[in-house]
Structure 1
């Protein structure tokens, strides 16, 4: 790639779209919502595995070059000296691969208290009362309990990302990892963005936290979840009462492992 690349990963509904919307104010930065690179990498790895009988002719050096080539092709319009932030929750499970492909790359993991993530998704479902969501395979039935169980399952939208984040925190590549809390990003955005610039080694830029713009209206409409990636104009923390029943809240209220030094053995930086 002509430009540098870093990655945004972590938990859903934890500020990754907001972070991208802020970063893209810098004319040297390219950032957005979750893109296709994660699934493209997985598809290529599968195609180059022994499930393909002709893969015997592909060396690991060629696999590496081919994967780098996919990134280079997709971001071929990024000028030299600019910076790409590619977003995907899968990246937390791919740290050994990413550090081999891009040794200078950093991974910023957006995190948030799990009950508030579940609350945020449930609010979207209730708000879009006339449109079943693709998050739940467009099924209109169910209860808040069945929806939360599905989200928190090992392969669910939240459960998979949470397990991937735990894997990243306990892996051998944590020097490239930083956790950015939703609370800091929304209540102290200047501090949060300064930490990001420091972590990736870039010169600070004067961001305007009162004029943020991002909305993937068509994408969200097709997913049956309008507002999923809509970012408010101003960065601010919004207090509210949870719509989750108390027993569901209590079930997940201790899952913010990044706050517990005993559960952060490699001392990943948490902002």
Structure 2
């Protein structure tokens, strides 16, 4: 089977931009979130003891079955030698993935949480006539209820944040690298060099002035036009927040990865 690695981490933190850059390399395949995580969860459930016939399923069979999902999903139509599969919940599945792919590497994209919440709110406001799938197409609410919904343990941001901490402090943390959004947009050459070094691939000359990614149809269906839009040129953009000051302050100290003393597993942070 071809090499497979994973992109995970926090939403609105550069995973789409990272995928768009990686796919410039003809040896690589990368994209926005795939359906594989849902398929893995479904198969784990079906092979659990809730299935009365699970006594006939060995762990070796479980591994082969789950690996088969990846092997067949990325079949002959994918010519790439190296696959990067994306889902912000992969961090919560790191022990399972290590059972399947002992040599895997996972790049977790991170960003100051205040700016993540700001970014989601900005998308919602830019599409005022389109209720968003992020909030189950609900038409009510305020910036406060939206921020709370994002941040709770089952929310778009809160779940990914907790999964990231689980991986960061877990026993498989040696497979994990954190890539800061701020580094990716301000120094993309440094960021990509670190990614290549981490996954053990030869360097590639990326074009940071001509980046392409098209998910317009998906975003429109989700009621969030522009959700996966990226600029043609990689560049940091200064802006003021659209959030009320108390919401912005609520999350401004949540970047745990910046605390070197708390990095007990020695996770690489770029």
What is the alpha-carbon root mean square deviation over aligned residues?
A: 0.8
Distance 1:55 1:185 in 2: 45
Distance 2:248 2:213 in 1: 30
Distance 2:13 2:242 in 1: 17
1:212 alignment counterpart: 211
1:257 alignment counterpart: 256
Matches within 5 A, 1:118-267: 118-267=117-266
Q: Deviations over 1:69-98 (max 9, x none)?
A: 11100011234x710000011210111111
Distance 1:107 1:71 in 2: 16
Distance 2:132 2:103 in 1: 38
Distance 2:59 2:227 in 1: 39
2:55 alignment counterpart: 56
Distance 1:100 1:204 in 2: 28
Matches within 5 A, 1:4-153: 4-77=3-76, 78-79=78-79, 82-153=81-152
Which ranges in structure 2 are unaligned for 5 or more consecutive residues?
none
Offset of 1:224 from its aligned partner? 0.3
Distance 2:46 2:217 in 1: 31
SS at match of 1:225: coil
Distance 1:45 1:89 in 2: 19
Distance 1:211 1:55 in 2: 51
SS at match of 1:30: strand
SS at match of 2:53: helix
Which ranges in structure 1 are unaligned for 5 or more consecutive residues?
none
Distance 2:242 2:7 in 1: 28
Distance 1:138 1:262 in 2: 41
Distance 2:27 2:151 in 1: 37
SS at match of 2:65: helix
Distance 1:215 1:230 in 2: 7
Distance 1:52 1:88 in 2: 27
Task: Single out whichever of 110-119 and 260-269 deviates more from structure 2.
Answer: 260-269
Offset of 1:52 from its aligned partner? 1.2
Offset of 1:265 from its aligned partner? 1.2
> What TM-score do the two structures reach when normalised by structure 2?
0.98
Offset of 1:263 from its aligned partner? 2.3
User: What is the aligned length?
Assistant: 269
Distance 1:215 1:143 in 2: 30
Offset of 1:109 from its aligned partner? 0.3
Offset of 1:206 from its aligned partner? 0.6
Offset of 1:58 from its aligned partner? 0.6
Distance 2:75 2:214 in 1: 24
